[in-house]
Amino acid sequence: MIERKRYLEKLNGYRDKQLIKVITGVRRCGKSTLLEMYRNSLLESGVPESRVVAVDFDDLDNESLLSYDALHDYLKKRIARQGMTYIFLDEIQKVPDFQKTIASIFTKKNVDIYLSGSNATMLSGELATLLSGRYIEAHVLPLSFEEFVTDAGEGNDTQRLFFEYMRFGGFPYTRYLDDDPVKIREYIKSLYDTILLRDIAFRKEMASIPALDSVAKFLLSNIGSLASVKKISDTMGSLGRKVSAPTVESYLSGLTDAFLFYRAKRYDAKGKRLLQTTDKYYTADIGFRNNILGASRSETNHALENVVYLELLRRGYDVYIGKIGEYEIDFVALKGDIPAYFQVCETLRGENVLERELRALRLTGDDYEKTLITMDLDIGVDHGGIKQVNIVDWLT
């Protein structure tokens, strides 16, 4: 198993705290494996097996527990009279009204609860109301490039591995498919189809899967470009597939709820406020874009943006698209009220490219961190306080 150190450290930091740990993320990103690793670490630390309770709701052996009252009765019987009992419920959103069980079990003082799910709605509605202020979220993404390199082992050329990462993406199971492009493509396409069918269309009772697929593919082909509901609806119409604006809005909600895409809102870098204007969308893993659509060299810039966006999320930032006057900053990344600014460009080797990329960063009028990320191999370059870094170095 590929160790997910960042996430394990977060879970360990909240061990035995009176907070429910909620692990979210797109299907097959490694949530179940993360929970297995964490359970193993508990056992290795001396926790008896009798005080570790794990239920995977993808397993038919647990079908009898797919009601909140049956699950409640089962868990109550498993809670130890003395010592902490650790409860792991994988894909909990499959249990209707599961929040009732969780709220009840959470009243016990000697339980430490870990939930996982592949849909953002598990943290909305009644659960959020019942558990407000009593849970923390650990959002899991597919492998980072650093994890990808670590799994490849020492002695590998990181620049070569980066091109492999850009081509295949970071879903953990792809690392066990013999570096075979056909197997990886088939796996990613199967995963994509499963997310559309099971995690979106079925859950939201959508009648037209082809239309949902068309909207998803529109987003994949327009990564890093502004995309409004009207623009998507008009594009679908021009392609002979009429999809109303409200329907597009419902599809976008489903695609982001299932973590297949992330919506990046626009941010006024001068006025320090969110803008209620057109957003951009980035996919949960660059492997989707390359293996569902195919990739062309001319689109490398947007693919790099996607990789940087996800990495900023991993590092704990809230990430927005920066706007400053008529210019754009690829990403304004916030921790609290402190911004960091990032521009992403494949190469600065063209006429006026460097000046174009620096212009918006210089207009912010502040001294916060500013970074220009490229594929150029220049090392240690500084443009008046704006750091230029190679993307492979920055990712590792």
pLDDT of residue 126: 62
* CATH class of the structural domain 5-139: alpha beta
Question: What integer pLDDT is reported at residue 1 of this predicted model?
Answer: 80
Strand partners, 387: 371, 382
What pLDDT is stored for residue 90 in this prediction?
Answer: 96
Residues 387, 371 contacting (CB under 8 angstroms): yes
pLDDT tens digit sequence for 293-347: 975 545 799 999 999 999 999 999 999 999 999 999 999 999 999 999 999 999 9
How much is the pLDDT for 277? 79
What's the pTM?
0.95
Please give the pLDDT value at position 295: 59
- Please calculate the CA angle 84-90-207 and round it to the nearest 5 degrees: 155
The answer to whether 241 and 211 have CB atoms below 8 angstroms apart is yes
> Which residues in the chain come in under a pLDDT of 50?
297
Which pLDDT value is given to residue 206?
83
> Torsions phi, psi of 202, nearest 5?
-65, -45
Residue 253 has a pLDDT of 95
The domain ranges of the chain are 5-139, 145-395
* Proportion of the chain above pLDDT 70, given as a percent: 98
Q: What's residue 270's pLDDT?
A: 87
Whole-number pLDDT of residue 283: 98
Write down the residue that tokens 């850009």 correspond to. 166
Residue 158 near residue 393 (C-beta atoms within 8 A): no
The answer to whether the beta carbons of residues 191 and 295 sit under 8 Å apart is no
Contact residues for 218 (Cβ-Cβ < 8 A; gap 6+): 227, 232, 235, 236
pLDDT at 264: 97
